[in-house]
Structure 1
């Protein structure tokens, strides 16, 4: 059995068995709240650990202005897996997976010009390794999740003021483990989310993720448990939920379904789940990102692998469950998209791939509902590489903001801004 070991920038040792593919993560002394040894899905690793990135130049398509706003250095955070949101004060807020004073992740605030302030460094007791983008309620409080840490080291839900005070742990998970996808603030005022693991064990099978509801007062209710006893309904959701125009919630699971290649599901606020799609490989597999509902009422999303080249797809899904592949990634135009799409004010869909492109470091792309596609940015490492699970965010200034988990001046990730003249960047619509 061939084994390779190396250290990630977050200070943990990565060990890979190449045949069969098994991945172990060994925690450093600075990560006491992270399991000392944990079997991990390879796709949750930074893609630059498993794909080759060529030395090259940042390529930006005509009609696109690109600017790196923040280079993370470890002290102010590292490896921003997820994207940013814009607060009611006009500033941008986000998290880093690791880094900060305890190397367990941070919450940060930044101006649209790139001035960054660390609001919180996680210490394990209050959570570690934040998962999912933040969400802000009407009073300005920020809500988020951590994958580990807390009383049971199975993750937390927390709240934090926009100035860094008023921190409170609302939930210490003990049944659902690893709330990786973050929270959705629904129309009823409650928060909804998923855990990628956990859910308990019963006579029929082992839990493999949950869907839950959280009231503003902190009461958590499990709405659905994905279980190995019924894998066709899906296993291991990793993405944020979407509330559709019909009031129901829509999401993805990266595993399960007929061929264990992932699903798309609908769940009512009362917890009744319907599986809409079971991926077959040719139409995509392993969706890591969530969905966006377009202005046309259809849902749009990505799969991390599968399609004609097995490098991922972009798909459209009708509310009744009819799926159409819009784009098959080939590597040269990107591969392994891991985040959700965002529909811009211009009506087009924007997203990222975690790998592929000109330099192998990932891309930013635009696509229309009629399949017109263009790569807007090919990352080169110096200006960032490997955008992961975070969707792009269109701020009030009309620009798109995003993060890369690697690359940048210190190799620990970036925040970037894109200004797009879509008439020039996407001439064939």
Structure 2
């Protein structure tokens, strides 16, 4: 399986006796003041009629390629990044780009990374926006010489395309290295993680101001069973930060954690026991008093899971991916629509009719539908979670499309619910 160089509700959480069992779940009424539907939400339509290819990325003329980013919406426009492309000779395949796009697929390059010495390179995750300025991370680049191609950077970008590196990782002993997750903004301050570095070299949780003052809040790997290699954006609930790590934990297959702004951290759940999920690459989302996320592997078919986690660490499986032509290997997190029904939407990097990934829905009692199977020309291997605007989902695929790269340069797409 190709990996980027960046490399169900199990039980009613409030019920006594709820454990980590992963069998068929009872209806979780204790968590559901609005109710879980017994069938897929009427928004979910398991056919191709809702799918629309918006844009095929292409390396021609210095275009961005390999979008692994999650799109964000600001004032009716979509914004994202590409891992490579952009024409800079500082990187073999270009150092990546930032782009804007209309909801009809008209794309405009905003910035090409690698434009000057010490610039960032290889942006991998979604942008954060504060007062009209975008902030993001790059996995490589920056001014530090502690890593062969730079240890990564935090950048700012105006809507007009003026970019500045506000911080270079690896600037001091114990600093974080190689950020693989996006930033979140809380009261005007940015928070994120790095996949390496820190006091125990298991990655860090950090905060940074828009002016570039960075502080490591926590170093992963600080105790036995701690998580290692955080690679998904954080979620803030009740003045605490929640997230996942790909590795570490009791079984070495990743964790979910909670951290305070002061730096105190606790492992909520260690993945990988029995047929539990393994290797979470996704963010957590908080819906009706519980967290939801995905794992790349694990489950009955060993091709990923959708899990639910209480704030105190009780975990269960809502869905297990990978049977037959089903969706498989979700790299991305979930997007939820909460109404009369709760429906989760997401993407998988593999599975589907052609084995090139899917868009899927899962309702609150674990009923799953493959909404679209990618076939190559319309995209292949989505690594990003979906952005929901009204009744339309927007996303990207890392490969596929009509671009001139081997296997395609990636796509942007929409799915009308």
TM-score interval (norm. to shorter) = 0.7 to 0.9
Q: Which residue of 15, 38, 46 maps to 1:61?
A: 46
Alignment check: 8 A CA contact 2:242 2:256 kept = yes
TM superposition shift of 1:231: 4.7
How far 1:121 sits from its partner (Å)? Answer: 0.5
1:63: Cα distance to partner?
7.8
Q: 5 Å matches for 1:127-146?
A: 127-137=120-130, 139-146=131-138
Contact 2:48 2:372 (8 Å CA) reproduced = no
The structural deviation recorded for 1:280 is: 2.3
The answer (yes or no) to whether the contact 1:64–1:376 under 8 Å persists in 2 is no
CA RMSD for the aligned pairs? 1.8
| Separation in structure 1 between the aligned mates of residue 6 and residue 227 of structure 2, nearest angstrom | 24
Q: Which deviations, in whole Å up to 9, do the C-alpha atoms of 1:170-215 show, x marking residues without a partner? A: 11001211111010112x3211100011114xxxxx4110000112
8 Å CA contact retained: 2:322, 2:329: no
**1:78 counterpart (65, 87, 96):** 65
CA deviations 1:303-354 (Å, max 9, x no partner) are 0001111111000111121111011112521211011101125431100100
**Ranges in structure 1 where 5+ consecutive residues have no aligned partner:** 1-15, 17-41, 48-59, 201-205, 421-429
- Counterparts of 1:390-401 in structure 2, within 5 Å, are 390-395=384-389, 397-401=390-394
CA contact (8 A) 1:231 1:260 kept: no
Q: Corresponding residue for 1:321?
A: 313
**2:219 matches 1:225:** yes
**Alignment partners' CA distance in 1, 2:76 and 2:334:** 22
Q: Residues of 1 paired with 2:343 and 2:203: CA distance?
A: 32
Q: Paired residue for 2:111, among 108, 112, 120?
A: 120
Q: Distance in 2 between matches of 1:63 and 1:247?
A: 41
Q: Give the TM-score normalised by structure 1.
A: 0.80
Q: Shift in Å at residue 101 of structure 1?
A: 1.5
Distance in structure 1 (CA, Å) of the matches to 2:132 and 2:143: 27
Counterpart CA distance in 2 for 1:324 and 1:61 is 26
Show structure 2 runs of 5+ residues with no match: 8-44, 89-93, 145-149
Moved more, 100-109 or 61-70: 61-70
Runs of at least 4 residues off by over 4 Å: none
Change (3 A) 1:231 1:254: farther
1:338 matched residue in structure 2: 331
Task: Name the CA distance, whole Å, in 1 between partners of 2:5 and 2:320.
Answer: 23
Q: Report matched runs for 1:91-106 at 5 Å.
A: 91-102=77-88, 103-106=94-97
Contact 1:70 1:116 in 2 (8 A): yes
Aligned partner of 1:169 in structure 2 is 165
Distance (Å, rounded) in 1 between the aligned partners of 2:156 and 2:312: 36
Q: Does 1:107 align with 2:94?
A: no
Note the alpha carbon deviations across 1:34-82, whole angstroms, 9 max, x for none.
Answer: xxxxxxxx743599xxxxxxxxxxxx83385111111000232100011
Change (3 A) 1:159 1:192: same
Structure-to-structure mapping, 1:39-50, within 5 angstroms: 43-45=3-5
Q: For 1:341 and 1:383, locate their aligned partners in 2 and report how far apart those are by CA, in whole Å.
A: 21
Paired residue for 2:269?
A: 277
CA deviation map 1:223-254 (0-9, x unaligned): 11013x6351110001000111x121100000
Is structure 2 residue 361 aligned with structure 1 residue 357?
no
Equivalent residues of 1:46, 1:386 under 8 A apart: no
Confirm or deny: 8 A CA contact 2:335 2:386 kept in the other structure.
yes
Bigger RCO of structures 1 and 2 (CA < 8 A, at least 6 apart): 2
Cα deviation code 1:2-59 (max 9, x no counterpart) = xxxxxxxxxxxxxx9xxxxxxxxxxxxxxxxxxxxxxxxx743599xxxxxxxxxxxx
Contact 1:145 1:155 in 2 (8 A): yes
CA shift for structure 1 position 131: 2.1
The match for 1:199 is: 198
Given that 2:241 and 2:261 are in contact with CA atoms closer than 8 Å, whether structure 1 keeps it comes out as yes
